Structure 1
Amino acid sequence: MNKKELINSGKVKSVFTTDNDDEVIIEFRDDMTAGDGVRKEVMSNKGSYNAVISSKIFKVLEENGVQTQFLDLPKPNMMLAKKLEMIPIEVIIRNIATGSLVRNYPIEDGTKLNPPIVQMDYKNDEYHDPMLNDSIIKALGIATQEEIDILTQKALEINEVLSGLFADVGIILVDFKVEFGKDKDGNIVLGDEISPDGCRLWDSETLEMLDKELFRKGKDSEVMDAYIEVYNRIVPDDEKVI
């Protein structure tokens, strides 16, 4: 399956049409950004590691009843996916308090959150991805209450599956963000990616970071080692392509 026309180019991924109107190619680039794209670097093979990690996670989710846009991985850095009309909401699940949560609220860093916090942000660079509530979502016409409830339910189901997946390989899923879209039949489907770019992942024993937070903190030399460690832990040897 070959990519054809460019549909969209984001900070780290590009989306292309294919010969099939219902499918797209998502190209994972080697770009690494932080601060709304203000800081940007290129890291060798970063796109490939994220694509393969995302593909593995999507396959595990599909096996557990979560519908995703993933179809195939024709190249290590390219995902063949169902075409979706993306909903401009980032759904964030927080299992442990850290980052902006402890900066903005009186919650101690490292507090385990049970039940997890479900947060929704408006995916819009112009407005710097502000936090949403149900009333704002409906006022903006982004989603109905029924759709908001579906997004929440699906995100919590994903959290349950992923927490177990990562725990089995000695990683704590601290928090993560997911995006959803509608397929041609109007079904709400998990899209985009789930990778160390959009998750906080800590080693279960050392609590060392294994995610993009290293880049945010200026530890550039450690980033790819962390991503490769996640790849090696969750992708079985017979599925490794890098």
Structure 2
Amino acid sequence: MKRIYTGKTKDVYACEDGNYILKFKDDMTGEDGVFDPGSNTVGLQIEGAGKAGLRLTTYFFELLKKNNIPTHYLSANMDEAKMKVVPATSFGDGLEVICRYRAVGSFMRRYGKYASEGQTLDGFVEVTIKDDERGDPPISKEALEMLHIITPSEYDQMVVLTKEISAIVKAELARKDITLYDIKLEFGKNQAGDIILIDEISGGNMRAFKGGQAVSPLELTELIVEKV
């Protein structure tokens, strides 16, 4: 395999069959050793984080498959922390779609004048541009169209998928008395031009609480996925 991309939490390799391998790493986003799914920098490294992320991602992708939600997932190798996926093209250099059920993180940093910490939100969806230098700025549907990053119909499809996927994850967490505060998703287009979920669904890209306490990414995997 040839490594074609080095990311913060995953590396990407090209396979001879035309598909790709995502190698999950133990690096996690955050600052000063504190985990933050909304951070643009690697702030800590926890042994086993990569495999835990893959376990939970596989769990949710298999669940989405049962619900006929299109994703790039093909298979996973837990021992090597690798996931095989189909090729997908990002929108621009990548968009991140956040579904918010509680007012926390960057939402509070921007709208704290009007919102209170932890305030209930009705699955509010916002889109940000993946741009570390500019702090992943939020962007509107109209601006995305004007910049030729995504069409209005593609944007609407992405929002619908975001709400469907987030609702499935939220309901699954609720079965273990875990409250989903927000989740960050990423989409692309497969070779047929269909919009599909890409990247991962793990504790590394969501905020979850149980009994009023934040659940760490590793703890979330242990609570949701049964050990084999």
Is the TM value for this pair above 0.5? yes
The aligned runs of 1:4-83 (5 Å cut-off) are: 4-21=1-18, 23-34=19-30, 35-37=39-41, 40-76=43-79, 77-83=81-87
Which of 228, 231, 235 does residue 218 from structure 2 map onto? 228
Q: Superposition RMSD on alpha carbons, in Å?
A: 1.3
The aligned runs of 1:1-242 (5 Å cut-off) are: 4-21=1-18, 23-34=19-30, 35-37=39-41, 40-76=43-79, 77-87=81-91, 88-105=94-111, 106-114=114-122, 116-203=123-210, 206-210=211-215, 226-237=216-227, 240=228
3-state DSSP class of the match of 1:40? strand
Runs (5+) with no aligned partner, structure 1: 211-225
Provide the rounded CA distance (Å) in 1 between the counterparts of 2:116 and 2:29. Answer: 28
3-state DSSP class of the match of 2:55? helix
TM-score, normalised by the number of residues in structure 1: 0.85
Write the letter of the residue equivalent to 2:222: N
Q: Which moved more, 1:77-86 or 1:26-35?
A: 26-35
Spell out structure 1 runs of 4+ moving beyond 4 A: none
Per the TM alignment, residue 65 of structure 1 is displaced from its structure 2 partner at its CA by 1.7
1:106-136: CA deviations, max 9, x gaps? Answer: 111121112x211000012232210000121
Write the letter of the residue equivalent to 1:13: K
Provide the rounded CA distance (Å) in 1 between the counterparts of 2:213 and 2:186. Answer: 26
Provide the rounded CA distance (Å) in 1 between the counterparts of 2:102 and 2:45. Answer: 30
3-state DSSP class of the match of 2:204? coil
Runs (5+) with no aligned partner, structure 2: 31-38
Write the letter of the residue equivalent to 2:54: A
Say how many residue pairs are matched.
Answer: 215
Provide the rounded CA distance (Å) in 2 between the counterparts of 1:182 and 1:98. Answer: 30
Provide the rounded CA distance (Å) in 2 between the counterparts of 1:31 and 1:192. Answer: 15
Residue identity over aligned pairs, in percent, reads 29
Provide the rounded CA distance (Å) in 2 between the counterparts of 1:193 and 1:11. Answer: 13
Provide the rounded CA distance (Å) in 2 between the counterparts of 1:30 and 1:98. Answer: 25
